Structure 1
Amino acid sequence: MRLSPADIVFYDLFTASAQNLRDGVRVLSEALVPDADRAALVPTLKDIEHTGDEHTHDIVRRVNSGVRTPFHRDDIYRLAGALDDVLDDVEAALDLMVLYRIKDLPNGVASMVDVLDRAAELTAEAMPRLRTAGELTKYWIEINRLENEADQTYRRLLARIFSGEYDALTVHKLKDVIETLESAVDGFETVANIVEQIALKQS
C-alpha cells in the first residue's frame, strides 16, 4: 500500500510516543535499583511525561486539522490517549514512592515493574508496524499474557501487605503504589486491544 505523507506522520508520531513511554518505564525501573535516589529521578520522569503530552497534543491537533488519517479518527484518539494514560500512571507511581517516603518495597513490586518494562519494549516495537497491524498478533497476545502475570503478582502483593506485616499507614501507602502500577499494566493491555481492533478494521 502506498503511503501519503499524512499517513507517515501519524505512524511516526505513534512511534515517538511509544518510545517516549518506554523511556519513562526505564526511569521507573531505575528507581527500584538498590540505593537509588528516587527523588532525583522524579524531574527526569516528569520531563518525559511532558514530552508524552506534547506527542498526544500533536496527534490530536493533526486529526482535528482535517488531514487524511491512515485509520479511523476515533481509533487515533483512543490510541493516543491510551499511551498517554500509561505514562501518567508510570509517572504517578514514582511520584507516590517519593511523596510517601517509601524506602523498602515488597519484592513483587519489582516484578510488576519488570512486566511494565517488557510491555513498554513490545509496544515500542509494535507502533512502527501499525501500517500492517494485522501482523501484530503475537504482540497483543504477549501483552495479554503479561497482564495476566501482573494480575497474579498484584493479588499476591495485596495479600502480603494486608497480612499484618505492615502498619496501617504503610499499607495505605503501598496499596496506592501497587494499584497505580496495576493500572499502568492494564493500560498497556488497553493499547494492545486498540491495536487489535485497528487490525480487524484493516482486514
Structure 2
Amino acid sequence: MKLRFFRHETAGLDSLVLMAGQVLAGTQTLAELLGARRGDFPALAETMRQHEGTATAQFSTLLTTMRTSFINPLPREDLYALGRLLHETSEILTGAAEFIELYTLERIPARGADQLEIVSRQAELTVAAMKALNDLDSLEDYWLEILRLAKRADHTHRVLVAELLENHSPASFAKYRGVADQFAAASTKMRAVATQVGSIIVKES
C-alpha cells in the first residue's frame, strides 16, 4: 500500500517528464525534417503532430492527477504552469514543422539549424530537470544554463532575420521567417519553464 501511495504522489512529476520528452523528441524529428526531401515532409510533419498529441494526453493526465490527489509533490499552480508551458512548446514545434511542410521549405539556412540545436539542448536539460523536481537543490545550474542558452537563441534569431531580409524576396522572407519565429518562440517557452522552476526553488527554499 505504501508503494502504491508513493507512485500516486509522483504521478504529476511523471507526466511532466513525459511531456518534456515529447518536446525533445519533437526537436529530433524537426532535425530530420530540415535535412529531408520534400517527399518526406508529410510523414515527418505527421510524426510531429503525434508528439504533440502525446504531450496533450499527458497534460490531461496531469490535470486529472492534480484534481484527484489529496497531496501533490508540488503546489498545483506550479505543476499546471510547467505542464502548460511544455504543452505549448510542443504546439509551437509542430507549427514549425507545418510551416516547412506547407511551404515545402528546403534548404533552411544554417542559422535556422543553429536555432533548433539550441532548443534541442534546452529540451534535453529540461527532461533531466523534470526528473529532478523532487531534489530542487540540484536545479539551480539548470535554471542558469537555460537562461544562457535563451540569450544565445535570441541573438541567433536576430542575426538570422537580418540575413533573411538581405538575401530573400519579401515572399520568401516571410516563409522562412515563419520557421525562425517558431524556433525562437520554442526557446522562449523553454526559458519560461526554467523561470518557473526558479520560482519553485525560491518558494520551496
Q: Residue 177 of structure 1 aligns with which residue?
A: 179
What is the CA–CA distance in structure 2 between the aligned matches of 1:115 and 1:106, rounded to whole Å?
A: 15
Q: Residue 157 of structure 1 aligns with which residue?
A: 160
2:53 is aligned with 1:21: no
What is the CA–CA distance in structure 2 between the aligned matches of 1:172 and 1:23, rounded to whole Å?
A: 27
Deviations 1:21-45 (A, max 9, x none): 2111111111122647222201111
Q: Summarize the alignment of residues 96-135 of structure 1 with structure 2, pairs less than 5 Å apart.
A: 96-135=99-138
The alpha carbon displacement at 1:117 in A equals 1.1
Q: Which runs of 5+ in 2 are unaligned?
A: none
What's the RMSD between the two structures over aligned residues? 1.5
Q: Residue 196 of structure 2 aligns with which residue?
A: 194
The answer to whether the 8 A contact 1:14-1:127 is kept is yes
More helix by percentage? 2
Q: Residue 82 of structure 1 aligns with which residue?
A: 85
What is the CA–CA distance in structure 1 between the aligned matches of 2:174 and 2:14, rounded to whole Å?
A: 41
The answer to whether the 8 A contact 1:82-1:191 is kept is yes
Q: TM-score, normalised by structure 1?
A: 0.93
What is the CA–CA distance in structure 2 between the aligned matches of 1:29 and 1:140, rounded to whole Å?
A: 25
The alpha carbon displacement at 1:66 in A equals 4.8
Structure 1 counterpart of 2:132, which letter?
Answer: R
Q: How many percent of aligned residue pairs carry the same amino acid?
A: 26
Deviations 1:66-124 (A, max 9, x none): 53111111111101000001111111101111111212212100000100111111111
2:138 is aligned with 1:138: no
Q: Which runs of 5+ in 1 are unaligned?
A: none
Q: TM-score, normalised by structure 2?
A: 0.92
The alpha carbon displacement at 1:134 in A equals 2.5
The answer to whether the 8 A contact 1:90-1:181 is kept is yes
